[in-house]
Amino acid sequence: MPTALIADDEPNLSAELASRLTRFWPELQIVAMPRDGVDALAQINERRPDFAFLDIRMPGIDGLKVAQLASEVRVVFVTAYDAHAVEAFEASAVDYLLKPVTDERLLRCIARLQRQGMSATDAGTVVSALQREAAPIRWLTVGIKDTTKLVSIDDVLFFQATDKYTEAVTSEHRHLIRTPLKELLLRLDGERFAQVHRGVIVSYAAIDRIERDLLGRMRIHLIGHDAVLPVSRAYAGLFKQM
C-alpha cells in the first residue's frame, strides 16, 4: 500500500488535501501531517513514506530544504506561488501544484505518481506552463493558531512589507502573511494592483486621491481608510496623468 506525508503549517489545508487524495486514490495511506519543516523531516525519516506533499514556506525548514535532505522520498510541492518551480525540479520534485489545486490538476498529479516519476521533458513542460498560465491570486489564507481564514483578494486595500512578514490590509483588519512582497507581486493581477513603493502594493480601486507635497513627494489617500501610502520616485510615473 503506498504511503504519503502532507506537510503544511495550515492544518485545515492539510486536512482538505488529505481528504481529496483519499477520495481520488483510496489505496494511498496518509501517515502524517506535520505543520513545520523540522517535524516534516523527522516524520519522513521515521515513517519512510513513499511520497511527501510539501508546502514550500514552512516554519523551521522550508520545503525545498526538506526535499534536499530527504532524498529517498518522492516530493510533490504544493504552494501558492510559482516562483520556486525551477528550484523545485532541481531538487528532484515529482510535481509542483499551485494552490488552489483543482481536482483535474490533482488527478493528473496522482496519475504521474502512479506512473513512477517525471521525465526531464515533463518537468520542463510543467515549469513552462506555470510561468505562462499561473492564475492571479483570488484569495489569501491567513492563520491564527489553529484557525485558517480565507480573505478575498477583492477585500485587500494594500499590502505592506514589515520586518519579517507582509501585511494584507482590508478596511477592517491587518492580516500577516509570510510571502515576501516581491513574490506576491508575481501573482497579483497587474490591472488591479500596483507596486508604488519598495514596501507597498496598492489596489487601484482603493485609491481616493494622490496628493503631492511642497517637496514633490506623492502620497496616496485611500477610500474609507486613514492610511496614507508613500509613492517613491521610481513609481511616480504610474500616476503621471492623474
Written as nine digits, the cell of 93 is 520534485
Written as nine digits, the cell of 51 is 511520497
Q: Any idea what DSSP says for residue 31? A: E
Return the number of other C-beta atoms located less than 10 Å from residue 126's C-beta: 21
> Domains in the chain, please, with CATH?
3-133 (3.40.50.2300), 139-239 (2.40.50.1020)
pLDDT in tens, 124-157: 444 444 444 456 778 887 766 666 778 899 999 9
Q: What is the mean pLDDT of residues 106-131?
A: 63
pLDDT at 241: 56
Q: How confident is the model at residue 70 (pLDDT cuts 50, 70, 90)?
A: confident
The C-alpha atoms of residue 46 and residue 64 are separated, in whole angstroms, by 19
Q: How confident is the model at residue 30 (pLDDT cuts 50, 70, 90)?
A: very high
Q: Which residues pair with 141 in a beta bridge?
A: 150
3-class SS string, 122-155 = HHHHHHHHHHHHCCCCCEEEEEECCEEEEEEHHH
Q: Which pTM does this prediction carry?
A: 0.53
SS3 content of the chain, % helix, strand, coil (to 5): 35, 30, 35
Q: How far is CA 62 from the centre of its chain?
A: 13
Q: Which residues pair with 76 in a beta bridge?
A: 53, 95
Asked whether the predicted pLDDT for residue 118 surpasses 90, the reply is: no
Residue of 197, 183, 26 lying closest to 110 (CA atoms) = 26
